[in-house]
Amino acid sequence: MKVLFNASILVLLISTFCFSQEPVPILKAQWKRATFRAQKPEVTPVGPVTPVMGETKYFQRKAREARTDNPMDPNTESIEGRSRAMDKAVKESRTPQADAVTGYTYTVQMRNDTGSKVSIIFWEYKFVEIAHPTNVVRRQFLCGSELKNGETKELSVFSLHGPSDVIGVESLAKSDEKLFTESVQVNRIELADGTIIQRDNWKYADVKEAVTRATSTPWGNEVCRAL
């Protein structure tokens, strides 16, 4: 079954509203510039195995850990330990370090008022340049998040794309003023029972290729991805 609804949701930056008539009302939304720091590559040292010594046996090790003067680990001072430490230092110096990535974090808080459990949510942040209203940018996101009926949840997604790809000279001259009007809305909801709730002015076909790209690689701990 496909259910369509016609409504508009307007949420200004860092403002809070509750729309009881919406199946999944937006309670709060914000975006901000952010830097994503890549995880440091794990380096496994290769070197001689540290031999078992009397000082490294279980009871001696536990007694050393219980001391408050922080005694040196015998393995660290052994020839084998120093060799492994040097090997690790050399490998770390030769391992390319991933650069930090600067982008934007979009966050939305919503509540499930559908009466059923929500499995998938398509939502967007819409920006309209005040100086040039024809400059409209929509940042759309896909979230695979189970949301029980009545549950409120905050969803966050990192994107390389900001409020606008192109901005007029007039807006740049007013960089200390508000440059965009902003709105946030849920475009499509897929319920656990297979029901789809979708805005009649939104088409899945328009984002189908973007969804394919977003889901083409395994997801880690992330809940949402940009389309």
pLDDT at position 12 is 32
Q: How many Å is the Cα radius of gyration of the chain?
A: 26
- With contact defined as beta carbons under 8 Å apart, do 207 and 227 qualify? yes
For the chain, give the secondary structure using H, E and C: CEEEECCCCCCCCCEECCCCCCCCCEEEEEEEEEEECCCCCCCCCCCCCCCCCHHHCHHHHHHHHHCCCCCCCHHHHCHHHHHHHHHHHHHHHHCCCCCCEEEEEEEEEEECCCCCCEEEEEEEEEEEECCCCCCEEEEEEEECCCECCCCEEEEEEEECCCCCCCCCHHHHCCCCCCCEEEEEEEEEEEECCCCEEEECCCCHHHCHHHHHHHCCCCCCCCCEEEC
pLDDT at position 130 is 86
Q: Residue with structure tokens 């809305």?
A: 185
pLDDT at position 175 is 57
103, amino acid identity: G
Cα–Cα distance, 224 to 61 (Å, whole number): 45
Low-confidence ranges of the chain (pLDDT < 70): 1-21, 36, 38-99, 165-176
pLDDT at position 220 is 83
pTM of the model: 0.64
pLDDT at position 64 is 59
pLDDT at position 40 is 64
Q: List pLDDT tens digits, range 149-180.
A: 999 999 999 998 888 765 554 544 455 678 88
First to last CA, the chain: 25
pLDDT at position 9 is 32
How far, in Å, are 27, 54, 55 from residue 65 at the CA level? 50, 15, 12
pLDDT at position 203 is 93
List of domains in the chain: 2-36+102-226 (2.60.40), 54-94 (no CATH)
